[in-house]
Every structure is written in structure tokens, then in C-alpha cells.
Structure 1
Amino acid sequence: MTATPELKRIHHVAYRCRDAKETVEWYARVLGMRYTTAFAEDKVPSTGEDDPYMHVFLDCGGGNVLAFFELPGQPEMGRDPNTPAWVQHIAFEVADEAALMTAKAHLQSQGIEVLGPTYHGIFRSIYFFDPNGHRLELACNIGTPEQHAELADLAPTMLEEWSRTKRAPQHAAWLHQDPDKQA
């Protein structure tokens, strides 16, 4: 048996975009990401296919990189019609709840519709879309070490129950009880 690879981190995550320049400018202006690298090719290096593209890379901080492909020779981009828009998203972490609310105000000042904050037990989030239709999330951690330990202990049990019933296990119901909404 061979050893599993020792992963260091995610090198980059890549998505498709409609317009590389618009995408780079939006992520810099709205989220403060730094544009670092671009590859433009007429042939795909891994397959040799003739398919011109622009591949752009943005520094998200903390050694994380978000990348996009503009593919002018391909049909217009869409999304999976069988997957709800809220499912596939990219989540970025902010320092705390104050930073989350500051970010929400900034996004709204840019004319971006923002949903939330939403309480998730161990973090709070806001949600919005980029100009390509990709859903984005900003989240701040609010969980205690004890809550994280409890969730880690419950994870195998919850997965097994879900696998059998396809219904949400109630082992960590406290995750859905927002203390700010309690009477």
C-alpha cells in the first residue's frame, strides 16, 4: 500500500469567469484581493487542445489563492440547474463580528445585495454574489473550543445517521439557536 500524499495547503481554487479584467478589478475593489499572476495560452498545456484562455490569480491572504479562467471559445457559462444557488460558494474568513459588519456596509456601499448576517452556531456569515454569479460568503468564527470539540466528537455519529435517514440529526441543535434572537 502506498502512502497518502502529505498536503501542505490548497495551492489555488479555480472558477470560470465571464471577463477576466472585470473579475480582477471587482475582487480588488470589493474584497481587497491582490492580482498576482496571469497565464494566457492558445492551447491547454495539460491536454494540447486548441482552446484559448486567460487564467488569472488573486491573493486572498494567508497563502490562499483564488483563480479564474476566461474561456472566450466556449459556450456562455452557466451553473448546474439541479443545484440550488446557495450550495456552491466560496467562504472567506474575517477577523470578528465587527469586521463582518464593516464588510457588509462596504459591500452595500458598492451596490451589492447582501444577505445576513446568518448565525451558524460556531460562526456568523454574510452572503453575496460576484459579477460572474458565484456565491461568496464572509464568515467570522464565534465558537468556543468546547463547541468545536463537541462538534468533532459528534461528526461521525451525525454522518452515520444522515447516511441512514437523509434527515438532519438533532445532536447539535444548539447550532441553530441564535442567542441574539432569543426572547
Structure 2
Amino acid sequence: MKLCFATHNIHKLEEIQALLGNHFELLTLDDIGCNAEIPEPFDTIAENSREKARYVKDEFGVNCFADDTGLMVDALNGEPGVKSARYAGLQRNSNDNMKLLLNNLTGSKDRKARFVTVITLTLNNVFHEFEGSVEGQIIFEKRGIHGFGYDPIFVPDGYDKTFAEMTMQEKATLSHRSRAFAKLVNFLKKHN
């Protein structure tokens, strides 16, 4: 089955292709000729995920799935949340985002946080939604060289390594994205 993954993010693509294996032929936005930055105008992760999937289906007529992810930090009332990728500005720079987040947590003893991913699949004009989350803590400084986004400052509960210190395979066993994608893959296998 051919499916488009509505992303330009090569790191996400690598992570998801590893989860999907050879069961599906994964197309990227570039493969279908979409060079646009798909708008994320809504206030929730679920709405933005759905909007991206709707946009690709309406504009290009292909079955696709789109994800949106946010990091919610308790001490910051859920920030950066839906604005995680552009927390420090429209340049979407991970280092700037982490620096601002750590600065905003200065003096806070409460470091609880959670990553949430929502995936929306549009298949034959029907929308399906899958969610995954992982609880953890924000540490005080970056550690690790793998992953992307906030991975160097997030330690999942029950572990002593950040996502950026884990291999892709280790992270895939417990990440928010892998949990949401496992639900998507199970659904697709039943409907393939």
C-alpha cells in the first residue's frame, strides 16, 4: 500500500520508516510534489494533525497520514505545547527552543513533562486518529547527540538517559511517536 507521510522532516521520516518496515511504500511530500509548508493554524495538536492530513488529501488526492507533536511542561502550564517547533521563533531552531525552555524553567523544581503525538490518517476519505504519549522530566542541560527537537533535554520516566543518548532502536521502543505509530501500523495491517 502506498501512503504519503505529510512531512519534510527527514528525521521523522527515518524514524517512521524504521517502524513501518517493508509493509508499506512510504511517499514523502517531496515525492508527491508538495513543497509548501503546510499550515498549523490551530490551538491543539490533534487539530493541526488533522489539518495537515486534510490538506494533502484535498490538494494532492493521495491517502496520507500526518503527525503533530508537542512537549508539555507542567511548570509552564503546558508550554511549549502546540508551538513546540517554533517556541523560540519562526526559524524553528531546536537549540533556540531548548535554550528558551531551560531559561523559562530556571528556579523551578517541578521538571515534569510529557511528549504527545497525534497522527491523523486519511484513508479513502475517512479520518482516523492515533495518539501516543510518554511522561518524563526536563533535565538542566543538553545530553546526547542522537534524535532531534527537545530529545537532548528529555529523560523518559524509568530511564536515566535522554532520548538523544538513546539509539533510534531504543527510542523507538518507548517514544510518544512510536506509540502512536504502533497504533497506526496495527490499524493499517488490519485494513490492508
Q: What range is the shorter-chain TM-score in?
A: under 0.3
Q: Relative contact order: is structure 1 or structure 2 higher (C-alpha 8 Å, sep ≥ 6)? A: 2
Q: What TM-score comes out, normalization by structure 2 length?
A: 0.25
Q: What TM-score comes out, normalization by structure 1 length?
A: 0.26
Select the structure that is richer in helix: 2
Select the structure that is richer in strand: 1
